[in-house]
């Protein structure tokens, strides 16, 4: 199939349309860069629409009577310091290892799913379990993608301290 990119207008060939990964709403796009551009524009449009939604008027202020006082549950990993007016009411519960999901799928709302993407300060990471590739889209340069298989990322983690030492990079 030969088609035109809706972003840049370039004609390009799609040999297997049903396998083409650069598509949005059934429209084939020539590159990842332009697919990201379309998605960014959609996100900005949705954010603008959300800004235009009127906020509900605030309800009367004041405390509502509580039938039974229940303490909120806060889950934390790592060190924490708690300052409380009534320290005798603070309870620390150990996390059950059964509560932490293994490598398998998660369940929510009756649907089984896996988390394969994450957004961080340095960029977005997307994992493709089928081919064991991990992509990094840097925040500073969102039109670029660093894509390596898992073994290559692990090798980079192993080599990076040595590379930094050889280049004279001080942490």
Calpha distance 51→137 (Å, rounded): 27
* pLDDT tens-digit map of 3-36: 999 999 999 998 888 888 998 888 899 999 999 9
pLDDT at 36: 93
Query: Where residue 168 falls among pLDDT bands split at 50, 70, 90?
Result: very high
* pLDDT tens-digit map of 41-92: 999 998 888 887 766 666 666 666 655 567 677 776 667 777 788 888 777 7
The reply to whether 144 falls in a domain is yes
Task: List the domain range (segments joined by +) for residue 25.
Answer: 1-50
The reply to whether 90 falls in a domain is no
Concatenating the DSSP letter of every residue in 111-134 gives: EEE---EEEETTEEEEEETTTTEE
* Cα separation of the two ends of the chain: 51
The reply to whether 160 falls in a domain is yes
Calpha distance 31→133 (Å, rounded): 18
The reply to whether 34 falls in a domain is yes
The reply to whether 7 falls in a domain is yes
* pLDDT tens-digit map of 116-162: 889 999 999 999 888 888 999 998 888 888 999 989 999 999 999 99
Q: Considering its fold, how many domains does the chain have in total?
A: 2
The reply to whether 39 falls in a domain is yes
The reply to whether 94 falls in a domain is no
pLDDT at 41: 92
DSSP state of 17: G
The reply to whether 6 falls in a domain is yes
């Amino acid at each position: 199939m030969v088609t035109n990119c809706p972003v840049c207008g370039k004609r390009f060939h799609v040999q297997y349309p049903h396998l083409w990964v650069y598509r949005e709403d059934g429209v084939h796009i020539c590159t990842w860069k332009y697919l990201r551009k379309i998605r960014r524009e959609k996100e900005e449009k949705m954010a603008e629409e959300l800004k235009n939604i009127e906020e509900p008027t605030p309800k009367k202020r004041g405390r509502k009577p509580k039938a039974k006082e229940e303490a909120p549950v806060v889950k934390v990993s790592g060190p924490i310091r708690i300052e409380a007016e009534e320290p005798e009411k603070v309870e620390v519960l150990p996390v059950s290892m059964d509560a932490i999901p293994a490598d398998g799928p998660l369940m929510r709302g009756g649907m089984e799913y896996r988390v394969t993407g994450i957004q961080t300060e340095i960029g977005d990471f997307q994992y493709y379990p089928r081919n064991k590739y991990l992509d990094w889209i840097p925040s500073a340069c969102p039109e670029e993608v660093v894509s390596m298989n898992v073994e290559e990322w692990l090798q980079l983690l192993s080599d990076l301290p040595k590379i930094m030492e050889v280049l004279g990079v001080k942490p």
